[in-house]
Structure 1
Amino acid sequence: MKKYITPFFICLTSFLTNGIIFGFLNSYGLIYQYLIIENKHDENIAIKASTLGSLKNGVLFLFAGISSILCKKIGLRPTCVIGIFLSVFTLIGSSFLVHNINALFFTYGIVHSIGSSLVYIPSLSILFHHFEKRVGLANGFASVGSSVFTIILPMLLNTFLSKYGLNSLLKLEASMYFALIVGILFWNTSNKRISPQISNSTHLQVVDPNINQEKTVTDNCPVVKNVQKPTFFNSYSNQIVNRSIKGEMLIMIIGIGSAISRILFGSISDLKLINRVLLQQIAIFVCGCCFVLVPLTIQSYYIAIVCLFMGLSDGIIVCLIGPICYDLLGSTDANNGVGFSLTVISIPVSIGPLLSGVIMANTHRYDYIFYTSSCYAFISSILMILIYTTCSDKKFVKISKK
Structure 2
Amino acid sequence: MLHHSGTKQALVGSLAIGTTFFLSPVAGILTDKIGIRTTTFIGGLLASGGMLLSSLCTRESGKSTLITPVRDSNTDLPTTDKSIYCQSDMFVPCSALRTHSVEGLYLTYGVLFGMGASLTYTPSLVILGHYFKRYMGIVNGFVTAGSSVFTVIMTFALDGLLKHVALVHCFQVLAALMALVMPCALLFKPLPVLSSQPQRCDNSLASQLKSLINVDIWKRKKYVIWALVVPLALFGYFVPYVHMVKFVEIKFPESDGKLLVMCIGITSGVGRLIFGKIADIPRVNRIFLQQISFLSIGLLTMLLTVTNSFALLVVIALCMGIFDGCFISLLGPIAFEICGHKGATQAIGFLLGFCSIPLTLGPPIAGLIFDHTNSYYIPFLLAGVPPILGALALFAVCCVSEDEKEGVSLAMVDASTPLQNGKGPVLDKTRGTWVQVLATSYTSATSPYYIPECHNLLMSPGHHTGSLQCYTQGDKRCYSYSIL
Q: CA deviation at 1:235?
A: 2.1
Q: CA deviation at 1:282?
A: 1.4
Deviation per CA, 1:22-42, whole angstroms, max 9, x where unpaired?
xxxxxxxxxxxxxxxx86x54
1:284 paired to 2:294? yes
Aligned residue number for residue 325 of structure 1: 335
Aligned residue number for residue 231 of structure 1: 242
Cα 1:117–1:242 change in 2 (3 A) is closer
Aligned residue number for residue 95 of structure 1: 55
Q: How many pairs align?
A: 349
Q: CA deviation at 1:65?
A: 0.1
Q: CA deviation at 1:298?
A: 5.7
Q: How does 1:238-253 map to 2 (within 5 A)?
A: 238-241=249-252, 243=254, 245-253=255-263
Residue identity matched to 1:400: G
1:254 to 247, 264, 274: 264
Residue identity matched to 2:26: I
Q: CA deviation at 1:106?
A: 1.8
Residue identity matched to 1:55: L
Instruction: Give the structure-1-normalised TM-score.
Output: 0.80
2:19 to 59, 64, 69: 59
2:366 to 346, 351, 356: 356
Which one has a larger percent strand, Structure 1 or Structure 2? Answer: 2
Q: How does 1:15-54 map to 2 (within 5 A)?
A: 42=4, 45-54=5-14
Q: CA deviation at 1:355?
A: 1.2
Aligned residue number for residue 371 of structure 1: 381
Deviation per CA, 1:256-310, whole angstroms, max 9, x where unpaired?
1111110111011011121000110111110011111223226431111111110
Return 126-135 or 346-355, whichever deviates more.
346-355
Return 87-96 or 50-59, whichever deviates more.
50-59
Aligned residue number for residue 214 of structure 1: 224
Q: How does 1:137-148 map to 2 (within 5 A)?
A: 137-148=138-149
Residue identity matched to 2:289: L
Cα 1:391–1:242 change in 2 (3 A) is same
Aligned residue number for residue 33 of structure 2: 73
* 2:57–2:105 Cα contact (<8 Å) kept: yes
Aligned residue number for residue 3 of structure 1: none
Quote the Cα distance in structure 2 between the aligned partners of 1:133 and 1:242: 48
Larger Rg: 2
Cα 1:132–1:393 change in 2 (3 A) is closer
Return 364-373 or 90-99, whichever deviates more.
364-373
Quote the Cα distance in structure 2 between the aligned partners of 1:147 and 1:54: 20
Quote the Cα distance in structure 2 between the aligned partners of 1:105 and 1:370: 28
Q: Secondary structure at the match of 2:134?
A: coil
Quote the Cα distance in structure 1 between the aligned partners of 2:147 and 2:338: 25
Residue identity matched to 2:19: V
1:388 paired to 2:450? no
Aligned residue number for residue 162 of structure 2: 161
Which one has a larger percent helix, Structure 1 or Structure 2? Answer: 1
**CA RMSD of superposed structures (Å):** 2.7
Quote the Cα distance in structure 2 between the aligned partners of 1:184 and 1:192: 19
Return 302-311 or 233-242, whichever deviates more.
233-242
Instruction: Give the structure-2-normalised TM-score.
Output: 0.67
Quote the Cα distance in structure 2 between the aligned partners of 1:391 and 1:377: 21
Q: Quote the sequence identity (%).
A: 28
Deviation per CA, 1:367-390, whole angstroms, max 9, x where unpaired?
4332232122122222222x2344
* 2:222–2:400 Cα contact (<8 Å) kept: no
* 1:47–1:361 Cα contact (<8 Å) kept: no
5+ residue gaps, structure 2: 59-98, 197-217, 408-460, 465-484
Q: CA deviation at 1:314?
A: 0.2
5+ residue gaps, structure 1: 1-37, 196-207
Cα 1:298–1:176 change in 2 (3 A) is farther
Q: Secondary structure at the match of 1:186?
A: coil
Q: Secondary structure at the match of 1:301?
A: helix
Aligned residue number for residue 400 of structure 1: 462
1:337 paired to 2:297? no
* 1:91–1:173 Cα contact (<8 Å) kept: yes
* 2:278–2:284 Cα contact (<8 Å) kept: yes
2:320 to 302, 307, 310: 310
Q: CA deviation at 1:241?
A: 4.3
Cα 1:182–1:255 change in 2 (3 A) is same
Quote the Cα distance in structure 1 between the aligned partners of 2:30 and 2:463: 28
Q: CA deviation at 1:102?
A: 1.9
Deviation per CA, 1:183-230, whole angstroms, max 9, x where unpaired?
2222111125499xxxxxxxxxxxx93314303413542356443333
* 1:50–1:353 Cα contact (<8 Å) kept: no
Residue identity matched to 1:291: T
Residue identity matched to 2:52: I
Residue identity matched to 1:231: V
Quote the Cα distance in structure 1 between the aligned partners of 2:222 and 2:307: 40
Deviation per CA, 1:110-146, whole angstroms, max 9, x where unpaired?
1210110001111111111011111111111111111
- By relative contact order (CA 8 Å, sep 6+), the higher-ranking structure is 1
